[in-house]
A and B are shown apart, each in its own frame.
Chain A
Amino acid sequence: MTGDLCPLALLSAGTEATVADIRAGKGMQTRLFGMGFCPDARVKVQCANRGSLIVSVGDARYALSRGIAMKILVGCAKGVA
């Protein structure tokens, strides 16, 4: 993975990316790991609405508010909005 890190919230619909880092609070971080958002996980933005997203990780779909999508950093080598 090359390129800089950027928050997941800034990606547009249809973009794929790889999770690099999560900077949420302790409890939320644990929850996100359990959901599959962990470093190196591939994610794809399905719907984007001003930073609120529906993201697929593996076979699951998650809705994230902008607040939390800003704290998930992804490598944005390609296809950034």
Chain B
Amino acid sequence: MTREIRIALTGNPNVGKTTLFNALTGSRQHVGNWPGVTVEKKTGRINRNGYEIEVVDLPGTYSLTAYSADEIIARNFLLDEKPDVVVQVVDATNLERNLYLTTQLSELRVPVVIALNMADMAEAQGDAIDRARLSEFLEIPVVRTVGTRGEGLDTLLEAAIKEAKTSPHHEHTVGYGDDAEAKIVTLVDALSADRNLAKRYPLRWLAVKLLEGDENVVSKVREGPASVRVQSILSSIDADEYEAVMADKRYEAIAAILPQVHRTDPKGTTFSDMVDRVVTNRYLGIPIFLALMWGAFELTFTVATPFMTAIDTLVVWLAELAVASIEPAWLGSLIGDGIISGVGAVLIFLPNIFILFLILAFLEDSGYLARAAFIMDRPLYAIGLPGKAFIPMLIGFGCNVPAIMATRSIESEKDRLLTILVNPFMSCSARLPVYVLFAGAFFGAQAGGVMFFLYVLGIVVAIVSAKLFRSTVLPGDVSPFVMEMPPYRLPTAMTSLMHMWSRGSMYLRKAGTIILLGAMVVWALASFPYGVEYGSAESFAGMLGHLIEPLVAPLGFDWKVAVALIFGFLAKEVVVGSLGVLYGTGEETLSEALLADPGLSAATALALMVFVLLYMPCVAALGVIKKETGSWKWTGFAVAYGIVVAWVLAFVVGHLAPFFIGGA
């Protein structure tokens, strides 16, 4: 007999929920050492003891009163989807604050199991937690787990299955003092008139949340028959004050049991504190950050060079071989000129991409990312962005899609929208092949400087745009910065490499799907109608390009570039892939072919790189902008604004560049 059980993983941010989820279900969801990595619910399935178990990983939250978009997801799932058992993942090194959420979960009357996670770290710093006594006090099973090493998973699942079967559940809640309790009793009485509500939620929990002034619960009650009485009770009280009193009572209740279950030495200044004194120092903080970024940039481009040359040579050799030896000739051309040249042009940049993702993984896993957000809060505040916007911006260097998702932890909707709108200007890894190709071909020894200029230009455009939007379409104050600083951890080579692989392999997958498709379509357009010279102006590609050419001619772009830009909308690497296909007839490399084209000068190449940096979010980024803003208007705005800015700046750069680079 199989039965289904649904387990929800909840808990404070950065306590290791996703690490535990991955260990339980064998998934590979992204983890990192900063609060807010997980911003949507993820599900996985396992079979255990004849039970079909669905495990749901939720974004972290400090309480059941939600504030930001990711917290709302966690809270709504717990309230409305009614999991059979809730596993609260608790950071064993920070018991007191984690138990604050436990006091709220126990009011929900769902079976709860505590996973005392990172138990190894607590033990290493000399803490001893009496799990049996803690469990007795809370009337909740407490299981020791170490998510990173997969310890305690079996015991945890067994406890969860057992709890899921034991219903109805006891009610064990904090007492809030005579005054508040009296109010709760009258509220419960008033609420019992609303049968629909009473069926779905525990009345005491509703009453507590009403007393705290939880807006979501207030609106749940508003439409129902209990509304009038509840409003009259609430109108006579100050919810802020009750909330403070009740928070105090919860911490008091925790403080009453902690000394009996938790033995810990007083901790002085930790290693993390000492590092923080240096890296967040008033004078050193920003220089250290900039030095790290410069080092990251250098690593991305210099270390990769020998690998790139090797791949490049291989691609050219394979393409030539295919064209020369595959019969019939059209098939040889499709494989050689189309697939190998197109996809190969993009694969050359694999080394850069992997190094970039390795650096990002290190930033995320070490704990420095949260500090960088703090350091940048002041400069960002000055331009109208919250410090938290920094994390999505940095992730944007990898890919704008997860970056835009990461804005969910930004509390204010307006701040969040602003952060989403400027994110596409952060130069993602897909644009990197375009820079490496053109800067390498046209700027030789100055290629590094040119690429650095492009990254900086993206940041500057994001900043200026943010300032502009803040003073026009999205006026308002920036929300204040509050963020937990996780302890520093030295990432292991294994985890960093795994994170690099899981994000970098998406680039590979893209090369095998959308870029391959793009290359084949461009090849077909360049080969037909039947009988035209491959890639000539008479081919479909030529016709399409010439149609668009007038729009981009002022920027110095010819029809081939126009075609590449159109297909670059699918994914920006396709710009390189398309050019690889359109130029892919000789025995030279793509960069030699570009250099030999009389229509392309260094100034044009620079204008093209600027245009590709800014012109519009790719199809995947647009999809996520629509999803996160929920508005076609803002999505359209992002496209239109991007194209205008790209056109203007490419025009300016293209016409000014000759004065600086000697009109090459």
Binding site for B on A (CB under 8 A): 13, 22, 24, 26-36, 38-41, 46-47, 49-50, 52, 54, 56-65, 67-68, 71
Q: A47-B277, A54-B374 are in contact. Are A36 and B480 (CB under 8 A)?
A: no
Q: Are A35 and B244 neighbours in the complex by a CB distance under 8 Å?
A: no
Q: A38-B244, A61-B485 are in contact. Are A46 and B276 (CB under 8 A)?
A: yes
Q: A46-B276, A64-B481, A65-B377 are in contact. Are A30 and B63 (CB under 8 A)?
A: yes
Besides the known contacts A39-B248, A61-B486, 17 further A-B residue pairs in the complex with CB atoms under 8 A apart: A13-B277, A27-B411, A30-B65, A31-B411, A35-B484, A36-B97, A36-B251, A40-B251, A47-B276, A49-B285, A50-B282, A54-B280, A58-B94, A60-B94, A60-B484, A61-B485, A65-B381
Point out the residue from B93, B97, B371, B486 that lies within 8 Å of A57, measured CB to CB: B97
Q: Does B469 contact A (CB under 8 A)?
A: no
Q: Are B101 and A59 neighbours in the complex by a CB distance under 8 Å?
A: no
9 of the cross-chain contacts (CB-CB < 8 Å) are A27-B411, A32-B482, A39-B244, A40-B251, A46-B273, A61-B272, A61-B485, A61-B487, A68-B480
Contacts of B61 in A (CB 8 A): 34
Interface mask (B333-361 → A, CB under 8 Å = 1, otherwise 0): 00000000000000000000000000000
A54 to B65, CA, bound (A): 25
Q: A38-B251, A52-B378, A65-B480 are in contact. Are A60 and B411 (CB under 8 A)?
A: no
Q: A47-B280, A59-B96 are in contact. Are A31 and B67 (CB under 8 A)?
A: yes
Q: How far is the CB of B367 from chain A (nearest CB, A)?
A: 10
Q: A41-B251, A46-B276, A47-B276 are in contact. Are A58 and B96 (CB under 8 A)?
A: yes
Q: Are A31 and B482 neighbours in the complex by a CB distance under 8 Å?
A: yes
- Per the CB 8 Å criterion, the residue count for chain B at the interface is 49
Q: A30-B243, A47-B280, A63-B370 are in contact. Are A54 and B94 (CB under 8 A)?
A: no
Q: A30-B63, A38-B251 are in contact. Are A65 and B387 (CB under 8 A)?
A: yes
Q: Does B332 contact A (CB under 8 A)?
A: no
Q: Are B213 and A26 neighbours in the complex by a CB distance under 8 Å?
A: yes
Contacts of A40 in B (CB 8 A): 248, 251
Closest to A21 in B: B244
Q: Are A49 and B93 neighbours in the complex by a CB distance under 8 Å?
A: no
Contacts of B240 in A (CB 8 A): 26, 29
Q: How far is the CB of A25 from chain B (nearest CB, A)?
A: 9
A41 to B61, CA, bound (A): 20
Point out the residue from B101, B269, B486 that lies within 8 Å of A34, measured CB to CB: B101
Point out the residue from A28, A41, A47 that lies within 8 Å of B482, measured CB to CB: A28
Q: How far is the CB of B315 from chain A (nearest CB, A)?
A: 47
Q: Does B200 contact A (CB under 8 A)?
A: no
Q: Does B247 contact A (CB under 8 A)?
A: yes
Binding site for A on B (CB under 8 A): 61-63, 65, 67, 93-97, 100-101, 212-213, 215, 240, 243-244, 247-248, 251, 267, 269, 272-273, 276-277, 280-282, 285, 370-371, 373-374, 377-378, 381, 387, 411, 479-487
Contacts of A57 in B (CB 8 A): 97
Contacts of B96 in A (CB 8 A): 36, 58-59
Q: How far is the CB of A29 from chain B (nearest CB, A)?
A: 7
A33 to B243, CA, bound (A): 9
Q: How far is the CB of B273 from chain A (nearest CB, A)?
A: 5
Q: A29-B243, A33-B244, A46-B277 are in contact. Are A60 and B97 (CB under 8 A)?
A: yes
Point out the residue from B62, B63, B273, B381 that lies within 8 Å of A61, measured CB to CB: B273
Closest to B381 in A: A65
Contacts of A24 in B (CB 8 A): 480
Contacts of A26 in B (CB 8 A): 213, 215, 240
Q: How far is the CB of B462 from chain A (nearest CB, A)?
A: 20
Interchain residue pairs A-B with the least CB separation, the first 10: A34-B62, A34-B63, A65-B481, A68-B480, A33-B247, A63-B374, A67-B480, A61-B485, A59-B94, A27-B67
Q: Are B281 and A49 neighbours in the complex by a CB distance under 8 Å?
A: yes
A52 to B273, CA, bound (A): 15
Q: Are B100 and A34 neighbours in the complex by a CB distance under 8 Å?
A: yes
Q: A33-B63, A36-B100, A40-B248 are in contact. Are A62 and B482 (CB under 8 A)?
A: yes
Contacts of A61 in B (CB 8 A): 272-273, 276, 484-487
Q: Are B482 and A68 neighbours in the complex by a CB distance under 8 Å?
A: yes
A54 to B243, CA, bound (A): 25
Q: A26-B213, A26-B240 are in contact. Are A49 and B101 (CB under 8 A)?
A: no
Contacts of B247 in A (CB 8 A): 33, 38-39
Q: A36-B100, A38-B251, A46-B273 are in contact. Are A54 and B378 (CB under 8 A)?
A: no
Contacts of A50 in B (CB 8 A): 282, 378
Point out the residue from B267, B276, B481 that lies within 8 Å of A59, measured CB to CB: B267
The interface centre, meaning the residue of A41, A58, A63 with most chain B CB atoms within 10 A of its CB, is A63
Q: Are B485 and A35 neighbours in the complex by a CB distance under 8 Å?
A: no
Contacts of B378 in A (CB 8 A): 50, 52, 65
Q: Are A30 and B67 neighbours in the complex by a CB distance under 8 Å?
A: yes
Q: Are A62 and B67 neighbours in the complex by a CB distance under 8 Å?
A: no
Q: How far is the CB of B187 from chain A (nearest CB, A)?
A: 19
A13 to B100, CA, bound (A): 27
A39 to B248, CA, bound (A): 7
A38 to B82, CA, bound (A): 30
Q: A27-B411, A35-B97, A49-B280 are in contact. Are A68 and B374 (CB under 8 A)?
A: no
Contacts of A35 in B (CB 8 A): 62, 97, 482, 484
